[in-house]
Amino acid sequence: MTGNRPGAADALRVTPDDIGKRVSLRRVIGTEEGRPVYSDVLGELVSWAGGVLVVRRRDGSLVEVPESTLVVGKVVPAPPPRRREAATRELEAIAARAWPALETEPLGEWWLRASQGFTGRGNSVLPLGDPGLPLDEAVDRVVAWYRARDLRPRFQVVVDSPLDQELAARGWVGEAPVLVLTAPVRAVLGALGASDPAAVRLSTRIPDGWLDVFRGGSAPAEVAAAILGAPPLVRFASVGEPPYAIGRAVVEGRWVGIFGVEVRPELRRRGLARAVLRALLEWGEQAGADTAYLQVEESNEPALALYAALGFLTHHAYRYRLA
C-alpha cells in the first residue's frame, strides 16, 4: 500500500517487553512516485535484538523487520488455539513429505508410515487431524497395522497435545522431545558469514560415499537412498572425495528443511558444518524458500547452542510414544 507517513496518533506501541505476544507492525518497504510504500506483518514477536524485530506469522514462517522501517506497531489479541495448531500441523506435514516413508497408508487424517524400521519418523503414525474413527478403534487399527509389519507401534505427537496426553494415560512410553526450529534464511546466512562455496558440492543424487558419513554409516543403504532421494526438490551436500562432511536440504514452497548435517569426528570444529549449512541454505533461497526448519533432539545441547546463535527459534516440539 502507498500513502502518507502515519502521524503521531499512530505511535509505535510495541517494546521488547512484548516478546511472546501477538503484534501488528507496519513498515516502510520502499517508495513509489515519491510516496512511501507500506507492508503489514501480523504474528508473534519472537525476538528483538540488534535493531531487528523477528515476527512469526501464522504459517510458521519468520519475518525480519528492522526498527528503522517501523511506523506503526501494537499488541493485538492472541489467535485462537486452532490457528496455532493448524500452523504446527502444516509444518509437520511439510517435514514428513521431506522424509517420506517407504509405505504410507491414511487412516482419516492420520498417516501410518513404515520404512522397514529405518528412523522413527519413517515408522510412526503422524496424526494431522481426525482419524475418522473413535479413538479406541483407531488406536487398535494402528497397533494391528504395525504388528503386521513386525514393527513396534509408534506415534509422532506434538508434546503436550491432547493425543500425547491420552496416549500417556494409556501407558504408551514417551521418548525425549525433538525440537522443531525455524529461522529466516537471510538471517541465518548473515549469521554464518562467508565460507568457501567451492569446497561444498551439491548434487540431486546421493554422492558416492555420502551414506558412509550419514549416521556413522549405520543406515541401510537401499532404504535410506529410496527415502532421502524421493522429494522432488532435494539437494545433497558433500565436502571431500570421498565425503567427510555432508548435509541434505529439501524445499517445499517457502520452506527449506535441513537434515543430516554431519562431519566425520576427526574433522569437526573446522567450520565444515557451517559451510555445508550455508551452501544448502543458499540453494534453498534460490529455489524460493525464505524460512528454514530443522529438527534437533532436546538433549543435543551443542547443536541447540549452535542453531540458537544462528537465529533459530523453537516452533514446536514433538516426541514419539511407543506401545
CB 273 within 8 A of CB 238: no
In this predicted model, which residue has the larger pLDDT, 223 or 46?
223
Listed in sequence order, the residues at least 6 apart from 89 whose beta carbon sits closer than 8 Å to its beta carbon are: 128, 129
245: domain CATH number is 3.40.630.30
Of residues 262, 255, 268, the one with CA closest to residue 237? 262
At position 61, the amino acid (one-letter code) is: S
- pTM of the predicted structure, to 2 decimals: 0.77
**Same domain assignment for residues 188 and 317:** yes
Question: What is the β-pairing status of strands 154-158 and 245-252?
Answer: unpaired
Rounded distance, CA 263 to CA 274, Å? 10
8 has a pLDDT exceeding 60: no
Write down the pLDDT at residue 82. 63
- Residue 3 covered by a domain: no
Write down the pLDDT at residue 80. 64
Write down the pLDDT at residue 56. 86
**Same domain assignment for residues 142 and 265:** no
Instruction: Give the pLDDT confidence of 105-163 residue by residue, as tens digits.
Output: 999 999 999 999 999 999 999 999 999 999 999 999 999 999 999 999 999 999 999 99
**Same domain assignment for residues 213 and 301:** yes
* Domain boundary residue, one of 145, 173, 201: 173
Rounded distance, CA 312 to CA 93, Å? 20
305 has a pLDDT exceeding 50: yes
Instruction: Give the pLDDT confidence of 53-73 residue by residue, as tens digits.
Output: 999 887 778 889 999 999 889
**Same domain assignment for residues 148 and 251:** no
* Helix extents (H) in 24-182: 81-98, 135-147, 162-169
Residue 94's pLDDT band (boundaries 50, 70, 90)?
very high
**Residue 125 belongs to what domain range?**
81-173
Low-confidence winner among 79-93, 202-216, 234-248 (lowest mean pLDDT)? 79-93
- Residue 2 covered by a domain: no
| Beta bridge partners of residue 246, listed in sequence order | 238, 262
**Same domain assignment for residues 219 and 258:** yes
**Same domain assignment for residues 199 and 305:** yes
Instruction: Give the pLDDT confidence of 238-291 residue by residue, as tens digits.
Output: 999 999 999 999 999 999 999 999 999 999 888 899 999 999 999 999 999 999
Write down the pLDDT at residue 43. 86
Write down the pLDDT at residue 97. 97
Of residues 97, 102, 100, 98, the one with CA closest to residue 222? 102
6 has a pLDDT exceeding 50: no
29 has a pLDDT exceeding 70: yes
